[in-house]
Amino acid sequence: TSTQYYKAIQIAKAPRKLHGDKLTIVGHSLGGGLASTASLTCGAKAVTFNPSGPHAATVVGGGGNFRNAKTLVTVFRVKEEILTTLEDGRRFALIGLLMPDSVGRQFELPAAGSRSLLTPFQLHGMDFVLLGLETLQ
């Protein structure tokens, strides 16, 4: 909800002042959207995994902007996971139009594991993010 996003913005401001460029905000799914929004409003780096996209009105309303999104936010997305698929409108165009996309430098992770057993919902979980990250090493 927008309340959670505004709380994330407020929570990020104090550590940003205290730690400066050393602060990195991390999140998965909704937490990734919260991390992205906080990053874009306070200027801290963020690393997100299969994140929800931050809404422009929330970012701007929190005093932020999208100008530095590619330098501030790093996004890891598992190929064919449910949230990415919906946001991008690959399968359901109308839903994709209604949902904000994730922002930042995008890295697509392979859907590791037996494809016949996996659903887009399962691929959304952090266990598949970790498997995908392991294939990059």
Per-residue pLDDT tens over the stretch 56-67: 999 999 999 999
Q: Is the pLDDT of residue 27 over 60?
A: yes
C-alpha distances in angstroms, 99 versus 51, 84, 110, 136? Answer: 12, 10, 23, 29
How far apart CA 128 and CA 78 sit, in angstroms, is 7
The predicted model scores a pTM of 0.88
Query: What was the pLDDT predicted at 112?
Result: 79
Query: What was the pLDDT predicted at 87?
Result: 72
Report all structural domains of the chain as residue ranges with CATH numbers, in order of start.
2-135 (3.40.50)
